[in-house]
Amino acid sequence: MTITRRNAITKMGAAAGSTALAAWLGSLEKLNNSLPQDLKGRVKHSACRWCYNDIPLEDLAKGVSEIGMHSIELIGPGEWELVKEYGLTCAMPWGAGNGIEEGFNEPSLHDELLASYEEVIPQVAEAGLDKIICFSGNRNGMDDQTGLENCAAGLQRLMSTAEEYDVTVCMELLNSKVNHPDYMCDHTEWGVRLADRVGSDHFKLLYDIYHMQIMEGDVIRTIRDNHQYIAHYHTGGVPGRNEIDETQELYYPAIIEAILETGYEGFIGQEFIPTWDDKLAALKSGVEICDV
């Protein structure tokens, strides 16, 4: 049970000196901060591995589990079993494709990409996972409509495998203004049009709140209007992609509440780069902010 300042003042009484009272309240605050916090259970919490690359995966898995989270994501086939040992899943696996810059908008890569995804998707399903990340690739002088048609053509070839193994292929929306210059899938509207063109429930979008705040803003309305196309969410503070606390411009409790109101039952992936000395404490803070 959390000890509040009001409880403390009542217990100390008027006779307590101000110095002693301040010291006692300080010690109670430290105690409260050290106690494990019960999560409400409305949100399934996930941590993105790359933000904690300097922490060995097993140590990260232990810390994430102790926080009360459910997943470490953006890890490949050789790592899924390790996190399972700590009661965790991988909400968004990777391990296929050529990375962010070379994606499905380039037809010359389609055969190579399909071979890669068709190898990994059965492994995803065998591990009991149900998603995998993909990317559009950079424009490289290509117009958006041509890129959309090229992506759709490649992804449609992949859908039979995705449907067979019941794995959803998720294209991430990224900003092309700050972090990923020239990336094509950089607006929700483009991603939605692509999903309509692919025409399968096994292709959806990964809506990265950080990236889309940079590119288009209007986050809550966009989520409400397009939630049926979104299979996963990432967080991150704007500007800087650091903690999602009062140091940045987005109010995450309202955003997460809006996501839940759409009926979303998937994971919220914390994908901010911690600046605190104690990185797991920063992650815990992000989880608590999103635990609406």
Residues 95 and 76: beta-carbon distance below 8 Å: yes
Residues 235 and 269: beta-carbon distance below 8 Å: yes
Q: Could you tell me if 30 and 161 lie in one domain?
A: no
CB count in 10 Å sphere of residue 233: 25
Residues 6+ apart with CB under 8 A from 47: 60, 64, 69, 71, 72, 73, 269, 270, 283
Q: Could you tell me if 29 and 96 lie in one domain?
A: no
Q: Could you tell me if 120 and 213 lie in one domain?
A: yes
Q: Could you tell me if 23 and 88 lie in one domain?
A: no
Distances (CA, A) of 226 to 77, 184, 203, 230, 289: 31, 19, 14, 7, 24
pLDDT in tens, the chain (292 residues): 333 323 332 333 333 334 433 443 443 343 344 334 589 999 999 999 999 999 999 999 999 999 999 999 999 999 999 999 999 999 999 999 999 999 999 999 999 999 999 999 999 999 999 999 999 999 999 999 999 999 999 999 999 999 999 999 999 999 999 999 999 999 999 999 999 999 999 999 999 999 999 999 999 999 999 999 999 999 999 999 999 999 999 999 999 999 999 999 999 999 999 999 999 999 999 999 999 9
Q: How many domains does the chain have?
A: 2
Q: Could you tell me if 116 and 171 lie in one domain?
A: yes
Using DSSP's 3-state secondary structure scheme, residue 7 falls into: helix
Q: Could you tell me if 172 and 134 lie in one domain?
A: yes
Q: What's residue 7's pLDDT?
A: 36
106-149 per-position pLDDT tens digit: 999 999 999 999 999 999 999 999 999 999 999 999 999 999 99
Residues 6+ apart with CB under 8 A from 43: 256, 260, 268, 290, 291, 292
Q: What's residue 20's pLDDT?
A: 38
Q: What's residue 38's pLDDT?
A: 84
Q: What's residue 37's pLDDT?
A: 56
Q: Is 48 exposed, middle or buried (0-12, 13-18, 19+ CB in 10 A)?
A: buried
Q: Could you tell me if 22 and 101 lie in one domain?
A: no
39-56 per-position pLDDT tens digit: 999 999 999 999 999 999
Q: Could you tell me if 283 and 148 lie in one domain?
A: yes
DSSP H stretches of helix in 166-251: 188-198, 209-215, 219-226
Q: What's residue 8's pLDDT?
A: 32
Q: Could you tell me if 129 and 8 lie in one domain?
A: no
Q: What's residue 16's pLDDT?
A: 36
Using DSSP's 3-state secondary structure scheme, residue 24 falls into: helix
Reading the block at residue 55, the tokens are: 């922490």
Instruction: In whole angstroms, give the CA distance from residue 18 to residue 180.
Output: 54
Average pLDDT score over the chain:
90
Q: Could you tell me if 79 and 214 lie in one domain?
A: yes
Reading the block at residue 96, the tokens are: 């296929």
Instruction: In whole angstroms, give the CA distance from residue 128 to residue 223.
Output: 28
Beta bridge partners of 214: none
Full-prediction pTM beyond 0.85? yes
Nearest to 188 by CA among 146, 155, 220, 236: 220
Nearest to 124 by CA among 65, 81, 60: 81
Instruction: In whole angstroms, give the CA distance from residue 20 to residue 16.
Output: 7
Residues 134 and 166: beta-carbon distance below 8 Å: no
Domain that holds residue 242: 41-290
- Angle at which helix 279-290 crosses helix 57-67, to 10 degrees, equals 40
Q: Could you tell me if 66 and 13 lie in one domain?
A: no
Q: Could you tell me if 3 and 123 lie in one domain?
A: no
CATH of the domain at 219: 3.20.20.150
